[in-house]
Amino acid sequence: MQIHTVQRGDSIWQLARRFGVSAEAVTQANGLVDPNKLVVGQALIIPSSVSVHTVVPGDTLWSIAQRYGTTLQELARINYIRNPAVIRPGQQIHIPQPNRPVIEVNAYTEKFGARGVALTNEIAPYLTYLSPFSYRVQTDGSLTALDDTEVIQAAYNHRAAPMMVITNFEDGTFSTEIAHSILTDSAAQNRALANIKDTMKLKGYMALNVDFEYVAPDERELYNRFLQRLVDELHPSGYQVSSCLAPKLSADQQGTLYEAHDYAAHGRIVDFVILMTYEWGWSGGPPLAVAPLNEVVKVLHYALSVIPARKIVMGMPLYGYDWTLPYVKGNKWAPSISPQEAVERAAKYGAEIHYDSQAQSPYYHYYDERGREHVVWYEDARSVQAKFNIVKLYQLRGVSYWVLGVPFPQNWYVLKENFRIKKLL
C-alpha cells in the first residue's frame, strides 16, 4: 500500500488513475462513505504493489518511507544511499517488499449483545485476543456480572482468544478502596481468586488481564504479590496472565496513577504487559494528540530498560476528541470522535487537515454554526503507520486497542499490510 495526503484538486477518480488502481479499491480501503467529498490534508490508503518509486520534486527519503510504510534507514540500505538527505528528481528508489512480522493484537470491547457480536465478527479476524471490559472486583472479592457469552463465542468463531479483564472500577473511576481491600484482606483476595478461576472456566476464557489503577503507592509490593499469586494459580491450568501499566517515564515517577505500577516487577511476573500509551490528550484536559508518538516513545524507552520487548504490548487509541476553544479547565468535557467522523466533520465545515510531525498525529480547526472555534485531534493511516514502524523497530510483542465500536477502517487495513496476526486457536 501507499499513503497519499490529499491535495487541492484531487479526486478519487484522478488518484485511482494516477496510481493505477480502481476507484472502488481506494474507496473500500478507506471506508469512504462519500468518495466525492475529499478533504485537503486527508490521508488516503492507496492499495498498491509498487516496487519502484520515481522521485519527484519535493520528495524526501523520509516522506517516501512514510508513504510506503517502511523506514528511511531501510530505504537507504537497499538503495545504497550514503547520504539520506540527498536524492534527486527522476531517481529510482526501490521499495522493499513487505516482510510482515508476526505480532499479537488485543482489543477491548464494551459492546455486548447483537451489536457486540456484529462488531466481534467484523474485527476478530484481526485479533489474537478479544477483551470484554470488564469484570469489576468488589471489596468482598465478588465480581460484577458481564453479559459476555455471545461475544466470547463470536471470538472463538474467528480464532480470537477471549481474555477476561478484571478491574477495580466503580462509579465511573478506579477505586483505591477496592484495590486496598483485595490486596490486604486475605478472605476477600481468596474469594476474588476463586471467582476469577470459576468464571474463566465457565465462560471459556483463555487469558486474564489485570487492570488495577490508582492503587495506593504504599501497596505496590502487595499488588506485585497479588499478580504473582494469580500467575501461580492460573499457569498450571494453561491460562496466560497480563497486566495494564500506566505510561511511566521512570521507576520513581510521582502520582497515584503511577507509583504502584512496578514496571520491572510486572515484566518479571506476568506473561506480558499492556502499556496504556494514550490519553495525553483526554476529554477533560487541554487539546493534545491522544497518543503523540514522541511521548509514546519516551514511555517505551523506559519500559524496554526493565521489561523484555517480547513482553511489551503497546496501547493504541481508535478515537480522537473535539475540543471547543478556548479550553478552560472544568468546562464541558470534549466529546470523543471516531477517525471516520473526524474527516466527515472536516468536510462539513470546510476545514483543512494538518499533520503534526512531532506527535505524528493529524488535527484541524473549524468554526461551528454558533461561531465557536474547535480543534480536533484524531488518528489516521499516517499516525498508525508511524506507530507500527515503532513496533517493528523495537520488536515489540504487539499492540492493544482501546476501544472497539469506533469506526476506523484504515487502521485494520494498515495493520494487515504491516503484520501477520498470531492466533492461539
Residues with a known catalytic role: 213
| For the chain, counts of helices (H) and of strands (E) | 14, 21
Measured CA angle at 389 (ends 388, 391), to 5 deg: 60
* Half-sphere CA count of 53, side-chain side, radius 13 A: 25
DSSP symbol at 137: B
DSSP 216-273: -GGGHHHHHHHHHHHHHHHGGGT-EEEEEE---SSTT--STTTTT--HHHHHHHSSEE
Whole-angstrom Cα distance, residue 385 to residue 330?
34
Name the nearest CA neighbour of 60 among 96, 18, 89, 95. Answer: 89
**Which grid cell is 381?**
493511516
Strands (E), 80-222: 92-94, 102-109, 129-132, 135-136, 161-167, 169-170, 173-174, 207-211
| Sequence-ordered list of residues with C-beta below 8 angstroms from that of 345, at least 6 positions apart, any chain | 322, 337, 351, 366, 376
Q: Prior bond to 134 cis, omega within 30?
A: yes
Task: State the Cα–Cα distance between residues 288 and 378, nearest whole angstrom.
Answer: 9
Taking alpha carbons only, the member of 40, 11, 46 closest to residue 28 is: 46
